[in-house]
Copies of this chain bind each other. A is one copy, B any other.
């Protein structure tokens, strides 16, 4: 027996999601088929309007809700953080992905604003300096009169390379550049820390 075209289409669409293979896609589909039809209908409706209601913020790249006026594509879409007057416009935190921004926000540790690069420098994946929005970042620094940039790319090979690139590219601008600390995480066991993390924890030590 062949699956019906409808099933094949849905399985192939679910398989596009990260970490979802054909088996998992089928499992999702059969769950939805045997559950309350409202679940599939609601999910369908919300997904259908996803990109109309949420768009990258034109200023920082964070996810922004479109207002009714802004849904006409000409209006710029500005996220709630960029609109918040209590945020320090002179402090800019540069992150790789929106996920990282959300993680920093959850910690409530940043009182400035953000700039989402969208990707990291990655020679292995063929992503070079020309693929990063460096000009937009420089324009943002000028425009907002940014005084400090916190480079919050991950402490990985690509993240460190991106941080070094930013340091070099923005060297001519009158802006202080800092890097988030890397070391043994809170609650982490020294016994299980990898040598690189442990090396960073020692090198980045602070006076008590």
Contacts and interface: CB of A to CB of B under 8 A. Distances in A.
A37 interface: yes
A30 B44 CA distance: 16
A80 interface: yes
Interface of A: 1, 3-4, 6-7, 9-10, 13-14, 16-19, 24, 26-28, 30-35, 37, 39-51, 53-54, 63, 65, 80-81, 97-99, 102, 105-106, 118
A28 B18 contact: yes
A105 B1 contact: yes
Given A10-B46, A13-B42, A65 B18 contact: no
A97 B16 CA distance: 26
B39 A16 contact: yes
Contacts of A45: 44, 48
B41 A7 contact: no
